Structure 1
Amino acid sequence: MAHSRRFEKDSRGFPRVVCIGGGTGLSNILRGLKRLPLDITAIVTVADDGGSSGRLRADLHMPPPGDIRNVLVALADTEPLLERVLQYRFTGGEGLAGHTLGNLMLAAMTEITGDFTQAVKELSRVLAVRGRVLPASAEDVVLMAEMTDGTIVKGESRIPESGKRIRRVFLSPPEPEPLEEALEAIREADGIIIGPGSLYTSILPNLLVKDMCEAIRTSPAQKIYVCNVMTQPGETDGFTASDHIRAIDEHVGDRMIDVAVINNEVPPLSVQKKYADKNQRMVVPDVDRIHRMGIRVVADNLLQYQNLLRHDAERIGAHILRLLRERTKRLQSG
């Protein structure tokens, strides 16, 4: 707890950044941002209904903890072994197999405190998280999708598996109540980072929460969209970078994004083949089309490859820090 208070004190005066999303994409970016002089708030989707998160959600009537857990671990000041422990997924035991220890800790903390948001805060203190982690809404939210053939698919985990093309996604209940702390963080931000992450199942569920888009649109912050590097089967098959932005505009209105950060490096053919076997392709960086949408583009080699393609979190962090410093200079000179 002492470490957390020290960081809070040291981070005063740092640019305030709000990161919005979910899944592994957001977690990966946060690992890079937490090393920079930034005051970070992560707003995380609570629409997951698959795996361990879905089971805890159904059994304990709590918001799904999986994406929150990943973000907490990404921002935590922990030893590598502790991170492995938090991410450990049990393989045996009646009722235990499939659960991660981090999810169970969030479930336990929710029952102890009586509130999921408070549970996230308490676990953040225990893990000495560098920043704040907030659920987009404390309500029980279900993600729905209308497909291009008119059918409705219910549940975040079922949407990509439907074999159909998505026309739009929406929440049930519609416009769930937001967390006031999340809205306040957006209003006070210097930069708002949307993505990377699953477009329809990680990013848009946050933006569809009541008052979230209005808070983003009216915030004086610079709004930065970090586009995915690869398409996702069942969600963004064949999408270019501008298609991702267009989908956001169609759901929440245009003029949401000021700057798009996109990858322009082509993966090696061996890597492309590995992903093609899973029906994934590189997201084409159609820069000119994004410019015509009135959006500034930062295009760079953002790829990092180990076993999987990931964003180069360090390079993206450097771009974000530069954009925020440019904004500060403009404000000071204006």
Structure 2
Amino acid sequence: MRPHVVALGGGHGLAASLSALRHVTDHVTAVVTVADDGGSSGRLREQYDILPPGDLRMALAALCDDSEWGHLWRDVLQHRFGGEGELAGHAVGNLLIVGLWDLLGDAVSGLDLVGRLLGARGRVLPMAAVPLTITADVTGLDAEHPEVATLVRGQAAVAKTPGQVREIRLDPPEPPARPEALDALREADWVVLGPGSWYTSVMPHLLVPQLAEVLSATPARRILTLNLQMHTSETQGYSAGQHLDTLRAHAPDMRIDVVLADPRVVDDHEALAAHARQLGAELVVAPVSRTDNPVEHDPLRLAAAYRDVIE
């Protein structure tokens, strides 16, 4: 029997890990961050006071069935309206998900129904039962006092900040986790965290108390997948080791079993291995990037790396 894998994250990073994991096992559950407040998701969230649907939609699309039907509905979900009208910029899938939530009155039931439409090879769940707001202490925004921290509020603002993120928090600070997500983690054989925007997609799961508690207690083994780009707007000047250090600072009780890194981000193997050991982890270095675009994960190469670790 193939292992049950739970993947945590959001956005393009989670879609990359799901696109790979679907080649490794038929038992994949995505637990998706619900803090997005930009673009189509942000508009729908503000207008209807609902969970932002965009990252959930992307995860469902990544798990679509490899058939003409699955690919057609994946493309429908991902299609965005153009023009300048009220629908401009909205993804069809976001509207479909919000419509199902309105009809069924339950977020998970609506996502499961979209999964059936796609023939999805797995399940997609929100990590919390309520929409979340990310707040961050950011230094370097005041030219006269670069060491003074400024409070930046909102996922979109944190993701684009030109300053140095020092700490993030969630609002509300103790949001209720979806029970289905907690059950999936309890039943998992492996948990995959990352890749993705470090502060706005990877870290938030560790700040939901119920999720963090189950993550620490689950007998599942944990893989942390490092990004292919170290110097994003959120993590300017960070080394791979500093990424691990920030995770440990925000979730000191979290233990990782394997840190997976592409050779391109490993400047000093011994140093990075030492940072990984502080999390309780073994460092595994494997080529997982696309040969034609080294800043994107290759689904088959990433799948091979996951398979080597998991099996």
TM (norm. structure 1) is 0.84
Equivalent residue number for residue 142 of structure 2: none
Equivalent residue number for residue 243 of structure 1: 242
1:91-170 matches, cutoff 5 A: 91-92=82-83, 94-148=85-139, 149-170=148-169
Equivalent residue number for residue 274 of structure 1: none
- SS of 2:261's equivalent? strand
Structure 1 unaligned residues grouped into runs of 5+:
1-12, 266-282, 326-334
Q: Is the 8 A contact 1:144 1:170 kept in 2?
A: yes
For 1:285 and 1:34, the matched residues in 2 are separated by 30
1:132-281 matches, cutoff 5 A: 132-148=123-139, 149-253=148-252, 255-265=254-264
Equivalent residue number for residue 322 of structure 1: 308
CA RMSD of aligned residues (A): 1.7
Q: Is the 8 A contact 2:266 2:272 kept in 1?
A: no
For 1:218 and 1:285, the matched residues in 2 are separated by 33
Q: Is the 8 A contact 2:215 2:254 kept in 1?
A: no
- SS of 2:110's equivalent? helix
Equivalent residue number for residue 27 of structure 2: 39
How much has 1:161 moved relative to structure 2? 2.7
* % identical aligned pairs: 39
- SS of 1:137's equivalent? coil
For 1:221 and 1:134, the matched residues in 2 are separated by 18
For 1:70 and 1:255, the matched residues in 2 are separated by 27
How much has 1:94 moved relative to structure 2? 2.0
Query: For this pair of structures, how many residues does the alignment match?
Result: 296
Residues 232/100 of structure 1: CA separation in 2 closer, same or farther (3 Å cut): farther
Residues 308/261 of structure 1: CA separation in 2 closer, same or farther (3 Å cut): closer
For 1:242 and 1:194, the matched residues in 2 are separated by 16
1:289-304 matches, cutoff 5 A: 289-293=271-275, 294=277, 295-304=281-290
Q: Is the 8 A contact 1:240 1:286 kept in 2?
A: no
Amino acid at match of 1:324: I
For 1:286 and 1:238, the matched residues in 2 are separated by 16
**2:5 is aligned with 1:17:** yes
- SS of 2:209's equivalent? coil
How much has 1:306 moved relative to structure 2? 4.3
Amino acid at match of 2:134: L
Amino acid at match of 2:252: G
For 1:93 and 1:114, the matched residues in 2 are separated by 31
For 1:109 and 1:255, the matched residues in 2 are separated by 36
Q: Is the 8 A contact 2:207 2:251 kept in 1?
A: yes
Equivalent residue number for residue 309 of structure 1: 295
